[in-house]
Amino acid sequence: MIKYAKQEIDKSDVSSVIKALKSELITQGNFTIEFEKRISQLCEVKYAVSINSATSALHLACLSLNLKKGDCVWTSANSFVASANCALYCGAEVDFIDVDQKTYNISIDALTKKLITAKLNKKLPKILIAVHFAGQPSEMKELRKLSKLYNFKIIEDASHAIGAKYLNSYIGSCKYSDITIFSFHPVKIITTGEGGMLLTKNKKIYEMAKLLRSHGINREIKKNKDLLFYNQKMLGYNYRMTEIQAALGISQLKKINSFLEKRHMIAKIYNKSLNKDIYTIPFQKKGTYSSFHLYPILINFNRIKFTKNQLISFLHKNGVQVSNHYIPIYLHSYHNNKKYKNDYCPNAFFYYKNSISLPMYASLSLKDQNKVIKLLNSVEKNK
């Protein structure tokens, strides 16, 4: 079976993990500090906090911006549920923005209209979580202008986008946002098994995130206090990354440019070879550099004899795994109420009904990719 995504682990990764296992500390040691340093250097941002998952990092991001009950967070309808759950963990409300028909990121027009209405109703969001879907950066400059006009904070959910660039700056620089979050889940560009990172330029946010990451405990040595003194200052969490995870992350990060180059080569072959009468390939906006975490295509089902489920079944039966990114968050049963109809975010719903994500990972062979392309291009004639 040709997988839609998988991790890339080699001998150098194994050696790095073994080194961590043999070290004096396998949690709260120097590997996590080194990993944070390397990520902050890559993104040219001052502060980085390693976390046990991107979901936890999103939660800490919301808490660090003082999100609480009665507040509201807006995010893209086209994302994984963690982009909304982080607000709910804080007791806040969540609402969804429709996506752009080309990038599948937050639509600036839809957001602007929603903000105008929300201001009249005195229900503006406290935080906007912008998702860089599939590794394609969102319109951060425009989002920043709106944040200043309507007084909301911005968190970049860059779970898909480490290594991506927007207007010559790496995603993670926080040039147009307050906080950026990365994911190191196995299917992402680089992996730590499970893991995430919170990045910011703001020292207060950084210190708050570090405190919350480890039970809300401050271990600073105070004058005239016992050397073993520690103090819980607030209710925190055990969201720490282990040394083993960080050691893998350090090794993986050394290869990120190679991973990205291979993903771009694979994307170019898909772009060139897929039948454009049937498939709409991912749009790349000028001034951006995608990390190509995913390669999503839009399908013209009027040209083929398959429904979406039949196409997925056809591909699976022929040894090709594809995936569904994403069911609009508001359609999940947890959010299912009278407020959210199928067309609450019509572009996101249309995209969900007519799209699939193709195999995309650095070690995808040309032979396997050609098989994927051949099968997809055969469906116009295949009944």
CATH code of the domain covering residue 84: 3.40.640.10
Q: Is the dihedral of CA 96, 112, 159, 314 positive or negative?
A: positive
Coil vs helix vs strand at 228: coil
Q: Read off the amino acid at residue 259.
A: F
Q: Looking at the domain assignment, is residue 6 inside a domain?
A: no
Dist CA 61 CA 56 (whole Å): 9
| pLDDT score, position 341 | 87
What's the CA gap between 105 and 278, in Å, rounded? Answer: 22
pTM of the complete model beyond 0.85: yes
pLDDT in tens, 173-187: 999 999 999 999 999
| Residue type present at position 367 | K
Q: Let me know whether 112 and 133 are in one domain.
A: yes
pLDDT of 338 higher than 90: no
| Residue 5 domain-assigned (yes or no) | no
Q: Are residues 247 and 281 in the same domain?
A: no
User: Which residues fall within 8 angstroms of residue 246, CB to CB, at 6 or more apart?
Assistant: 20, 31, 32, 34, 35, 50, 192, 195
pLDDT at 221: 58
Tell me which of 233, 253, 273 is where a domain ends. 253
Element (H, E) at 94: strand 93-97
Domain annotation covers residue 4: no
At residue 226, does pLDDT exceed 80? no
Whether residue 3 lies inside any domain: the answer is: no
Same-domain pairing of 220 and 263:
no
Domain count, the chain: 2
Residue 1 belongs to a domain: no
Q: What CATH code is carried by the domain that includes residue 265?
A: 3.90.1150.10
Residue 5: φ, ψ to 5°: -165, 155
Residues 126 and 186 in one domain: yes
Domain of residue 332 covers 256-378
What's residue 382's pLDDT? Answer: 65
Are 77 and 193 members of one domain? yes
Return the DSSP state at 219. Answer: -
Residues 30 and 52 in one domain: yes
Strand arrangement of the beta sheet that strand 169-170 belongs to: 169-170, 165-166, 288-289
Question: Do residues 76 and 119 share a domain?
Answer: yes
381 against 209, higher pLDDT: 209
What's the confidence (pLDDT) of residue 228? Answer: 64
pLDDT for 198 equals 98
Convert the pLDDT of each residue in 154-164 to its tens digit. 999 999 999 99
Q: Which amino acid is at 279?
A: Y
Other C-beta atoms lying within 10 Å of the C-beta of residue 217: 14
Q: Look at residue 161 in the predicted model and tell me its pLDDT.
A: 98
> Which pLDDT score, from 0 to 100, does residue 219 have?
75
**Paired strand residues for 43:** none
Once rounded to an integer, what is the mean pLDDT over residues 348-358?
A: 98
Domain co-membership, 246 together with 268: no
Query: How many angstroms separate the CA atoms of 305 and 301, rounded?
Result: 7
Distance from C-alpha of 211 to C-alpha of 51, rounded to nearest angstrom: 12
Q: Considering the chain, what percentage of its residues have pLDDT values greater than 90?
A: 92
DSSP secondary structure string for all residues of 159-170? TT-TT-EETTEE
Angle at which helix 308-317 crosses helix 366-378, to 10 degrees, equals 140
- What 8-state DSSP symbol labels residue 339? T
Stretch among 83-87, 108-112, 213-217, 222-226 having the lowest mean pLDDT: 222-226
Residues 16 and 82 in one domain: yes
134 with 183, same domain: the answer is: yes
Q: How confident is the model at residue 222 (pLDDT cuts 50, 70, 90)?
A: low
Question: Do 63 and 124 lie in a common domain?
Answer: yes
The residue out of 222, 253, 284 marking a domain boundary is 253
Task: State yes or no: pLDDT of 224 exceeds 60.
Answer: no
Whether residue 104 lies inside any domain: the answer is yes
| Residue 383 forms part of a structural domain | no
Residues 327, 360 within the same domain = yes
Interior/surface letters 262-301, b for 16+ CB within 10 angstroms, e for the rest: bbeebbebbeeebeeebbbbbebeeebbbbbbbbbbbbeb
At 268, the pLDDT band (50, 70, 90 cuts) reads very high
- Matching residue, tokens 């040691």: 29
Mean pLDDT of the chain: 95
Short-list 159, 176, 178, CA closest to 85: 159
Burial of 163 (0-12, 13-18, 19+ CB in 10 A): buried
Q: What is the pLDDT of residue 339?
A: 78
Residue 205 lies in a domain: yes
> Among 225, 253, 281, where does a domain finish?
253
| Contact of 288 with 264, CB cutoff 8 Å | no
